[in-house]
Amino acid sequence: MKTKILHIALITSLMMSCQSQKSWKTDIYETSASGNQLTKIIAGKPVENSIKIKLNPEQKFQKITGFGGAFTESSAYLLNQLSKANREKVLQLYFGEDGANYSLTRTTIASCDFSLKHYTYAPVADDKELKHFSVQEDMNDLVPMIKEAQKISKNGFKILASPWTSPPWMKDNNAWINGKLLPQYNETFALYFSKYLTEYKKLGIPIWGITVINEPHGNGGNWESMLFTPKEMTDFVENFLGPKLEKDGYGNVKIFGYDQNRSELKNWVDEMYRSEKSSKYFAGTAIHWYDSTYKIFGDELQYAHQKNPSKHLIQTEACIDGDIPKWKDDSWYWSEEATDWGFDWAKEEEKYLHPKYVPVFRYAGDIIGCLNNQVDGWIDWNMVLDKNGGPNWFKNWCGAPILVDPETDEVYVTPLYYTMAHFSKFIRPEAVRIGFENPDKELQVTAAKNPDGSIAVVVFNPSEQAKNIEISFENQNISTTINAKALQTVHLTF
């Protein structure tokens, strides 16, 4: 009997040893200023004095919700101007398994600056019961784009929807821009969300989450907006929006507060999570990146996470917002030439936050910095824009990862697309960010373990020199050389 027990123990020990010695398959992809575009490269041989990055899968952080971009009327309208083949190409690039495989997206509830005109789903004034509510304005462009993306996406994607304003007649200034929600329309605005969720559900488009309003501080009085203080928004969610969605069967739809720049996070999460009753209805906080062209605001992100660690922290908007995008000029996206709104318009004491910057560096650095500071989702702004950075009724030109020229039926896939794909393609929903050691101060690194057991390590080298790296994990060492001004994803599977 003792011999049999020892035999079983020996077999078990050998099996465990074999499992710990399993061989991992390594795929390495690079995007670089030298011309790589998510190009598969071969792992190198060990080099003396390599930078040793040690993974620690036992150290676990936030669960990842996803990565992606926004469905806007501007993007959808442009896709409708392209040939069928190019329209399909763009959507495959974003949602196909061989493309970026976006998993988390955003869309607008009625019009925004990246719409062709002002519109609302409730155009009849004082229609408190919203008997005239209609999403008909979305049916020509926006809805078809989302539906086609759904058909392409094998694993599906989440949609986070945001209004830029309530219908103007609900506001104290009866205007599209600025103004506050009148107290007598609190219930009606909550109903507005419920009606929207119902109409989109009928169309076969489930909405995963909503933000209460885009940019509650306003946008300088330029395009659709509505103002809230932290207390006003929290009161609205606690007393009206949360209970209404719960009552109408949408209690599973996630409500996100804030939805603006990171520097103000403390004031907002302090109010949102002021009590158990208010916290109940907030699934998390939405943030934007426009406070600075280089600063991550890590302290603010960490504060928001620690305030309520069970809640989401999702980046919902980012774009190159100070220049008309460069057409078929990859080098520009790797050069310190871009500006943002703050380069010209920031207060004198804040101008230091808005120097010229390298577009790819800003995207790669921000996504890595966000992930390493507890952010669980990162959403780009428009998926598609034209050569002018529009169409946009306000002429508020911006960049996008894919640019098109409807007149010549051309598509330009910018380096920003490949930058996004380094994350969205390899770090999948429900992945868990894991720990690592990185001794090099120039390299920026993040890592995550996917639900299928695979591991993605993203390494960004903004320096002017190539660097030799050795990534160690379990019984394996992976050697690679990352080019100067380059982004690499090392994907480990077994």
Of 379, 416, 378, whose CA–CA distance to 70 is shortest?
379
pLDDT for residue 323 = 85
Residues 91-127: pLDDT tens digits?
A: 999 999 999 999 999 999 999 999 999 999 999 999 9
pLDDT for residue 299 = 98
Q: Which candidate in 30, 224, 238, 317 is catalytic? A: 317
Please indicate, yes or no, whether residues 324 and 468 belong to a single structural domain of this protein.
Answer: no
Token pair for 171: 């506001």
Residues 128-154: pLDDT tens digits?
A: 999 999 999 999 999 999 999 999 999
Please indicate, yes or no, whether residues 43 and 121 belong to a single structural domain of this protein.
Answer: no
Of 145, 137, 147, whose CA–CA distance to 80 is shortest?
145
Three-class SS state of 461: strand
Per-residue buried b or exposed e for 223-236, using 16+ beta carbons within 10 Å of the residue's own CB: bbbbbbebebbbeb
pLDDT for residue 15 = 47
Q: Is residue 15 part of a domain?
A: no
Please indicate, yes or no, whether residues 423 and 447 belong to a single structural domain of this protein.
Answer: no
pLDDT(280) > 80:
yes
Write down the mean pLDDT value for the chain: 95
187 is catalytic: no
Please indicate, yes or no, whether residues 443 and 395 belong to a single structural domain of this protein.
Answer: no
What secondary structure letter does DSSP report for 410? E
pLDDT for residue 16 = 47
Q: Which candidate in 30, 73, 215, 238 is catalytic? A: 215
Last residue of a domain, one of 428, 458, 478: 428
> In sequence order, what DSSP letters do the residues of 22-87 get, joined into one string?
PPPEEEEEEEETTS-SSEEE--B---TT-EEEEEEEEEEEEEP-EEEEEE-HHHHHHHHHS-HHHH
Q: What is the mean pLDDT of residues 21-27?
A: 81
Q: What is the mean pLDDT of residues 402-428?
A: 98
pLDDT for residue 284 = 98
Please indicate, yes or no, whether residues 407 and 297 belong to a single structural domain of this protein.
Answer: yes
pLDDT for residue 270 = 98
Mutual angle of helices 73-81 and 84-95, in 10-degree steps: 140
Alpha-carbon span 219 to 226, nearest angstrom: 9
pLDDT for residue 2 = 47
Alpha-carbon span 253 to 206, nearest angstrom: 9
Per-residue confidence band for 7, with pLDDT thresholds at 50, 70 and 90 = low
Mutual angle of helices 84-95 and 142-152, in 10-degree steps: 60
Highest mean pLDDT among 3-12, 38-47, 224-233, 393-402: 224-233
Can you give the residue range of the structural domain that contains 408? Answer: 66-428
Per-residue confidence band for 85, with pLDDT thresholds at 50, 70 and 90 = very high
Alpha-carbon span 62 to 78, nearest angstrom: 36
Q: Is residue 54 part of a domain?
A: yes
pLDDT for residue 21 = 56
pLDDT > 70 fraction of the chain, expressed in percent and rounded: 96
In this structure, are residues 79 and 91 in contact, taking their beta carbons and an 8 Å threshold?
A: yes
Q: The CATH number of the domain where 166 resides is what?
A: 3.20.20.80
Residues 335-379: pLDDT tens digits?
A: 999 999 999 999 999 999 999 999 999 999 999 999 999 999 999
pLDDT for residue 474 = 86
Residues 176-224: pLDDT tens digits?
A: 999 999 999 999 999 999 999 999 999 999 999 999 999 999 988 889 9
Alpha-carbon span 492 to 19, nearest angstrom: 16
pLDDT for residue 469 = 97
Within its chain, how far is the Cα of 270 from the centroid? 23
Residues 289-315: pLDDT tens digits?
A: 999 999 999 999 999 999 999 999 999
pLDDT > 90 fraction of the chain, expressed in percent and rounded: 90
E strand or H helix at 194: helix 186-202
Please give the C-alpha separations between residue 185 and each of 126, 161, 236, in angstroms, as whole numbers. 9, 20, 11
Last residue of a domain, one of 428, 447, 464: 428
In this structure, are residues 319 and 382 in contact, taking their beta carbons and an 8 Å threshold?
A: yes
Residues 147-157: pLDDT tens digits?
A: 999 999 999 99
Please indicate, yes or no, whether residues 93 and 32 belong to a single structural domain of this protein.
Answer: no
Please indicate, yes or no, whether residues 207 and 223 belong to a single structural domain of this protein.
Answer: yes
Q: Is residue 94 part of a domain?
A: yes
Q: Is residue 18 part of a domain?
A: no
pLDDT for residue 5 = 47
pTM of the model: 0.95
pLDDT for residue 43 = 86
pLDDT(443) > 90:
yes
215 is catalytic: yes
